[in-house]
Amino acid sequence: MRIDVKTLLILASLPLLLIAIALVQWGSMGLPALPSATSMAAIMQPQGFPSWLRIGHFINALFFILLVRSGLQILMDHPRLYWNVHCTPGTEWLRLTPVAMPKDRMWTAKEDARHLSPWIGLPGYRHTVGMARHWHFLSVLFWIGNGFVYVALLFATDAWHRLVPTSWHVVPDAWAVFVHYATLHLPQEPNGFFHYNALQQLSYFSVVFILAPLALITGPSMSPAFTARFPWYPRLPGNRQIGRSLHFLVMCAFIAFTGMHIAMVAITGLTQNMNHIVVGTDAANTTGLWIGAIGITLIIGLNAGANLLAWRQPRLVQHTAKLIITPIMRLLFGRAVPTAQFAPPDISPYFWVNGKAPTCSEWEQLEADGFRNYRLTVHGAVGNPVELSLDEMRALGLSEQITLHHCIQGWSGIAQWGGLRMDRLMALVKPLPHATAVVFHSFSDGVALDRPGVGGRYYDSLSLRDAHSPQTILAYEMNGEPLTRHHGAPLRLRVENQLGFKMVKWIQSIEFVEDISAIRGGEGGFAEDHEYFGELANI
């Protein structure tokens, strides 16, 4: 584990500064006056918590916890956070793995992946980024949906008056409350059933109207389809890795808020506060506590159920996600044509490697001969099956692009790729009208982490639409040189609106098919078959 001291200081400086000022103020001038309870009661406020708000609060808690737990597991698949887009090992500001980076041997991104204890991570326990993503995306739909209903009802009723400050006076009032808390004094609290104190109001307001939108807008800065179509988007925060780091820091802020929120609920009258938010009364009885305890048990049970489903019924979770999330991703990003291009100075000094180079004698022989005898076989549902040598591919025309690679694990890197555009190849081989997908078969064996012995050759597939995309190329060059052994020699796929696992390296043959479910495990690729990845990888 390692955190960059400078970043830590910057992150900690604002809260520490505020606490220091509060201490000085208290020491020199004493505690500031708070708005009196009677003046607060005089302000007309909607009273209590309507049922939609209490239910929304519960739903929010459930999906928020699922989001955090699955998000943390996704983070641990590449347990490093950077401010730079190249992800050069050693430049991370936060490293959540004891492994610095072995210098004496190849260290792939997959080997770098960690998993969390299932008490924290969803699913945790073993390498499961595919499953964690399914839970993350399923949860986020409900979390956002619930959030929109909540905000709509807030403004459709008078409930917004409690949450939205309407006078700048809230700032000095909130500061006065803060000076009390920061110097460990408990101010006289208004009854939260009728009125929040100013700091409470400001914090709730910020969580709903600043933090939640920040979580929403930092997410898509990691989507290959979205950022390849709208290159300006990740540039808003700076780059993709800044977006990813901010997404994480927003979660930290949420957790800090939740911790303080729970502490304050407990300190300022747990029994009554629980009645407020659970049953909607201001009574002093224990009904809210009991029903609240049942609600919390339910949340824990549902979380445990999510873990169990992920481990025992991964295919069911994968297919449910495919049913619900895939159409939404297709709707949002399916037609986004990738166009993002970078300049030569942007090229990454280091480019992470994934996957295992082929060990079959066929490929080793080809490599030994400098791939002179390599022939790409293109077959299946095509009018004109072909076999092409590298020279024949070169004769069909070189296309070059400098693009950003997005690995599902979280790392990225910029490189220049040169090769044959897939649409040129398709013009040559003429896919038959009933062909729906194109499959790329590799010489190398796939690695299903934590599923030793499972496998066979790596492969993946594309829809014909993605295959036709102008930035889908069969690359034989990287940064102006022939592909190296680790990056997929002699031929690999680049498809810039998808995540890295779709980009098969060490391509042996290309097959056009009518029905992808008839190929191998039937899910569309090795990672989809064995690691339950979603087959549409544009987020």
Ligand X SMILES: Nc1nc2c(c(=O)[nH]1)N[C@H]1C(S)=C(S)[C@@H](COP(=O)(O)O)O[C@H]1N2
**Residues forming the site for Mo ion (CB under 5 A):** 354, 407-408, 500-501
- Phi-psi category of residue 184: left, alpha or beta, with phi > 0 → left and psi -120 to 50 → alpha: left
127 binds ligand X (CB under 6 A): no
Closest by CA position to 442, among listed 410, 474, 399: 474
Locate 42 and state its tokens: 């005089």
500 binds ligand X (CB under 6 A): yes
Q: Per-residue DSSP letters for 382-410? A: BSS-EEE-HHHHHHT--EEEEEEEE-TTS
Q: Are 243 and 204 in contact (CB under 8 A)?
A: no
Output 375 or 486, the one with its CB closest to ligand X: 486
Output 380 or 488, the one with its CB closest to ligand X: 488
Q: Which option in Mo ion, ligand X, none does residue 130 bind, with CB closer than 5 to 8 A by kind?
A: none
Whole-number minimum distance, CB 360 to Mo ion, in Å?
22
Whole-number minimum distance, CB 500 to Mo ion, in Å?
4
Output 254 or 526, the one with its CB closest to Mo ion: 526
- The number of residues that bind ligand X (CB under 6 A) is 19
162 binds ligand X (CB under 6 A): no
Whole-number minimum distance, CB 254 to ligand X, in Å?
29
Q: Taking CB positions, which residue lies at the least distance from ligand X?
A: 355
Helix (H), strand (E) at residue 245? helix 240-267
Whole-number minimum distance, CB 457 to ligand X, in Å?
8
Candidate ranges 129-137, 144-152, 336-344, 439-447; the one touching ligand X (CB under 6 A): 439-447
Q: Which parts of 190-229 interact with ligand X (CB under 6 A)?
A: none
The Cα 22–Cα 428 span in angstroms is 73
Whole-number minimum distance, CB 400 to Mo ion, in Å?
23
The Cα 53–Cα 56 span in angstroms is 5
Helix (H), strand (E) at residue 26? helix 5-29
Output 92 or 112, the one with its CB closest to Mo ion: 112
Beta partners for residue 3, in sequence order: 94
Output 137 or 501, the one with its CB closest to ligand X: 501
Q: Which option in Mo ion, ligand X, none does residue 234 bind, with CB closer than 5 to 8 A by kind?
A: none
Contacts of 103 (CB under 8 A, 6+ apart): none
3-state percent breakdown (helix, strand, coil) of the chain, nearest 5: 50, 15, 35
The Cα 11–Cα 535 span in angstroms is 38
Q: Which option in Mo ion, ligand X, none does residue 272 bind, with CB closer than 5 to 8 A by kind?
A: none
- Backbone angles phi and psi of 404, in degrees to 5: -100, 125
444 binds ligand X (CB under 6 A): yes
At position 480, the amino acid (one-letter code) is G
Please report, for residues 47, 191, 276, the alpha-carbon distance to residue 43 in angstroms, rounded to integers and kept in the order given. 11, 13, 20
Among the listed residues 353, 420, 422, 539, the single contact to ligand X using CB under 6 A? 353
Output 195 or 530, the one with its CB closest to Mo ion: 530
417 binds ligand X (CB under 6 A): no
Output 201 or 412, the one with its CB closest to ligand X: 412
Whole-number minimum distance, CB 503 to ligand X, in Å?
5
Among the listed residues 505, 529, 530, 536, the single contact to ligand X using CB under 6 A? 505
Q: Which option in Mo ion, ligand X, none does residue 35 bind, with CB closer than 5 to 8 A by kind?
A: none
Strand order in the sheet with 80-81: 2-3, 94-95, 80-81
Among the listed residues 264, 503, 513, 519, the single contact to ligand X using CB under 6 A? 503
458 binds ligand X (CB under 6 A): yes
Whole-number minimum distance, CB 488 to Mo ion, in Å?
13
Q: Are 334 and 539 in contact (CB under 8 A)?
A: no
Output 388 or 408, the one with its CB closest to Mo ion: 408
Whole-number minimum distance, CB 494 to ligand X, in Å?
10
- Backbone angles phi and psi of 245, in degrees to 5: -65, -40
Residue 345 burial class via C-beta count within 10 angstroms: exposed 0-12, middle 13-18, buried 19 and up: exposed
Whole-number minimum distance, CB 502 to ligand X, in Å?
8
**Total Cβ atoms within 10 A of residue 187:** 17
469 binds ligand X (CB under 6 A): no
Among the listed residues 133, 487, 494, 520, the single contact to ligand X using CB under 6 A? 487
Candidate ranges 43-51, 87-95, 153-161, 438-446; the one touching ligand X (CB under 6 A): 438-446
Q: In 3-state terms, what secondary structure has residue 371?
A: coil
Among the listed residues 203, 221, 354, 498, the single contact to ligand X using CB under 6 A? 354
Closest by CA position to 409, among listed 67, 68, 78, 133: 78
Q: Are 199 and 178 in contact (CB under 8 A)?
A: yes
Task: Give me the helices (H) in 495-538, please.
Answer: 526-530
442 binds ligand X (CB under 6 A): yes
Q: Are 227 and 242 in contact (CB under 8 A)?
A: no
The C-alpha R_g of the chain, in whole angstroms, comes to 27
Please report, for residues 26, 49, 163, 437, 497, the alpha-carbon distance to residue 46 in angstroms, rounded to integers and kept in the order given. 34, 9, 11, 58, 49
Output 93 or 363, the one with its CB closest to ligand X: 363
504 binds ligand X (CB under 6 A): yes
506 binds ligand X (CB under 6 A): yes
407 binds ligand X (CB under 6 A): yes
Whole-number minimum distance, CB 407 to ligand X, in Å?
4
Residues that bind ligand X (CB under 6 A): 351-355, 407, 442, 444, 446-447, 458, 487-488, 500-501, 503-506
